[in-house]
Amino acid sequence: MIFYIGIMLFLIVTFILAMKRNLARDNYINDLILAFLERGELSKEALLDKMYEYGCNDFRLKRVISKYHATRDDYEQVFDKLFHWANFKKRRRYLPVNSFFFVSSLDYILKHKDDDAKKLSMKMMNHFHF
């Protein structure tokens, strides 16, 4: 009986920590989007620097960055493609920014960074249900 209570407590704590991490990430992304689009506090270069720094410090995203040996220039190349074809905000999502903060989308855009800009943007729009 104590074993099952221990497992249940472990799962509850794990869930709470995962949700806390996800909420913090989502708030950070939203703050970047607002600072870039609405308040004009961030230039494109500053935005990309913050996005790349976050990716290099996040324990999940840095694995993807290492896998593809991604650089800040790779981020800029993909950002420009997404910015050209998907430069619009829907609720708290802005495709050129959100694509860099989730493992599945980051893996795809870095793997296909040399693809056509429209194809890459359409794939990300489908991924984020735009």
Give residue-wise pLDDT tens across range 19-37: 999 899 989 999 889 898 8
User: Mean pLDDT, the chain, as a whole number?
Assistant: 88
What's the distance, CA 54 to chain centroid? 9
Residues 48, 51: Cα–Cα separation, whole Å: 5
Q: Is residue 13 very low, low, confident or very high in pLDDT (cuts 50, 70, 90)?
A: very high
Total domain count, the chain: 1
pLDDT at 129 over 80: no
Expressed as residue numbers, the domain containing 45 is: 2-127
Tokens 């950070």 belong to which residue?
28
pLDDT at 100 over 80: yes
What's the distance, CA 67 to chain centroid? 16
This prediction has a pTM of 0.81
Q: Minimal CA–CA distance to 98: which of 39, 15, 31?
A: 31
User: In percent, how much of the chain has pLDDT > 70?
Assistant: 100
